[in-house]
């Protein structure tokens, strides 16, 4: 049996996303801008979840073939083979999150908070893969501490890109646009 991020699971995700978006734009001074930010966030989140968690294959024959020692699917040694394409993809996959966090929350975050969010994002993604490993006895992925590090780095890079863009737009924009940008973010 295979599980994909589609059908009833996708329908439930869309309903939850719509409810959260509706609550976020209710009585907001910038409903269109906020709606665009939330729609972008939930589209990004869909692809991130689909990429990192699905498909999930549940098969007794695969469990026999791939199962056994679940510790073969774990890497708990930090910085061991971190500089490879997998690490690069993990960084790139979470860069948008660093940009979207301030956009959906309408606030400029402290850098320490962004670091914490980045680490928690990596822990959540890898933790869900670990749960899959324990639940069905095998996984087609490797649960890797380096992925947590790379995910955190991606969020930090995304936030730096956001801050650079925010600073540039605020300084270059005309007074009306500059006021809109600063009004959108609560300090």
pLDDT in tens, 98-130: 999 999 998 889 999 999 999 999 999 999 998
> Taking 70 as the threshold, does the pLDDT of residue 90 lie above it?
yes
The residues near 55 (Cβ < 8 Å, ≥ 6 apart) are: 2, 3, 4
> Taking 70 as the threshold, does the pLDDT of residue 173 lie above it?
no
Mean pLDDT of the chain: 88
Angle, vertex CA 177, rays to CA 172 and CA 182, nearest 5? 90
pLDDT at 69: 66
Give φ, ψ of 136 to 5 degrees. -105, -5
d(CA 105, CA 4): 30
pLDDT at 184: 77
Pairing of strands 56-57, 74-75: unpaired
d(CA 126, CA 152): 12
pTM of the model as a whole: 0.86
Kindly report, residue by residue over 23-54, the tens digit of the pLDDT: 988 888 888 888 999 999 999 999 999 999 99
> Taking 80 as the threshold, does the pLDDT of residue 80 lie above it?
yes
pLDDT at 94: 97
d(CA 136, CA 131): 9
d(CA 163, CA 156): 10
Distance of CA 173 to the CA centre of its chain: 30
DSSP 80: T
pLDDT at 174: 67
Kindly report, residue by residue over 127-149, the tens digit of the pLDDT: 999 888 888 877 777 889 999 99
């Amino acid at each position: 049996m295979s599980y994909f991020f589609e059908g009833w699971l996708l329908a439930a995700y869309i309903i939850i996303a719509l409810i959260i978006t509706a609550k976020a734009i209710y009585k907001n001074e910038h409903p269109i801008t906020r709606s665009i930010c939330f729609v972008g966030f939930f589209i990004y989140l869909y692809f991130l979840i689909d990429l990192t968690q699905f498909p999930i294959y549940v098969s007794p024959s695969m469990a026999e073939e791939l199962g056994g020692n679940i510790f073969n699917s774990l890497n708990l040694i930090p910085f061991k083979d971190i500089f490879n394409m997998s690490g690069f993809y993990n960084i790139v996959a979470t860069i948008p999150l660093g940009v979207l966090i301030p956009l959906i929350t309408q606030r400029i975050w402290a850098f320490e908070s962004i670091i914490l969010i980045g680490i928690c994002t990596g822990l959540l993604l890898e933790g869900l893969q670990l749960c899959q490993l324990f639940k069905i006895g095998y996984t087609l992925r490797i649960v890797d501490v380096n992925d947590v590090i790379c995910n955190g780095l991606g969020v930090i890079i995304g936030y730096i890109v956001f801050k650079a863009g925010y600073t540039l737009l605020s300084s270059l924009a005309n007074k009306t646009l500059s006021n809109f940008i600063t009004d959108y973010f609560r300090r």
